[in-house]
Each structure stands twice: as structure tokens, then as C-alpha cells.
Amino acid sequence: MFDSFPNPFEFYQLVGWVGALLSIVSFQLLSPKNKLFVRVLSGLFFGVHYWGLAAAIACLVCFVGSFRDVLTIYLKKKALDKVLIFYVIAFWAITLVIGNSVDDYLIAMATSLVAASAYYRDCFWRFRWLTFAHHALWIVAAIIMTSYPGLVVVFLSMLSNLVGMVRYKLKEKHSL
């Protein structure tokens, strides 16, 4: 399997780049269902990528996060809120049991922030700032894990979020 790669690290980086490409493409899809499908695929590729980097918590976040993303779209707010609370508690419990590095705890904090952003998805500024903080933690974690595709995707997502915030602020200014 690794014959054409000098080492497995390069193979798992390549798997991550496939996930990165899918993530970037997903933002160009107009249908929410198509976007969701491609985002789930991206999460699965990133899960394999992080598994190959021996980043168990990151791997788990990607696999379970794919399932969470599906629930975010289809569950009513009250049911989703319960799932999000369980999700955060479960990830912290798992992290406290098997976490062994700074990036594991950064990812657990980021997971808490992204769950909070899903909770506040109807409050533009809370949603955006929580997402921004989530991205900031993932950038540091990606650097620690040497996840080049993860770093690029999170940086682009953070930049896109900032552009959206500026556009929203400008729109608010013009509507006064």
C-alpha cells in the first residue's frame, strides 16, 4: 500500500489533502443536502488523516463530527441542544481518559466552542465569534499535529468567516 510513498506520513497527508479538497468544494455547492454529503465525506477523509498522524482525539472528532453535522440539519432545536450537551460531555470524558497531548485538549475546547456555535446558530455574532475561536484552536492543534491540509482548511474557513463578518457589518452599516 505504501510502495509509492517513502513513508506512511506522506500517505496520510495525501488523504488529508483529499479531505481538504472536498471541504473546499463543499462550500461551492448550492444544495444544502449536497453540501452536507460532501462535508461528511471530507470529515471521513480527515478522520483517516488524523488517525494516520496518531491523533486519536482529532480522528474521533472528525468521525463523530460528521454524524453531528447530519443531526444539526435534521433535528429540531430542542432535541439538538440535548445532543450537543451530550456530545460535549462525552468528548471531554474521552479526552480526559485518553488525551495525552496539548492538541487533544485544544481540540476538546474547540469541540465545545463549535457545539456552542451550533446552539447559537440563530444569533449571527455569537455564532461567528464562537466559530472564530473554534478555528483559532484548531489552527494551533493542526500545527502541533503537523497536519498541513488541516491547517490550510481551517485557515481558509477562518478567513471565510471573517469575510462574512465584515460583509454583515457593512450591510448593517448601510441599512441604518
Q: What is the pLDDT along the chain (176 residues), one digit of tens a residue?
A: 445 656 788 999 999 999 999 999 988 887 777 888 898 899 999 999 999 999 999 999 999 888 877 777 777 878 888 888 998 999 999 999 999 999 999 999 999 999 999 888 889 999 999 999 999 999 999 999 999 999 999 999 999 999 999 999 998 888 76
The total number of structural domains in the chain stands at 1
Among the listed residues 87, 80, 85, the one whose alpha carbon sits nearest the alpha carbon of residue 63: 87
List of E strands, the chain: none
**H/E stretch holding 161:** helix 148-174
- Expressed as residue numbers, the domain containing 146 is 8-174
Look up the pTM and report it: 0.87
Let me know if residue 80 belongs to a domain: yes
Let me know if residue 2 belongs to a domain: no
Say which residue the cell 496539548 belongs to. 102
Among the listed residues 161, 92, 104, the one whose alpha carbon sits nearest the alpha carbon of residue 138: 104
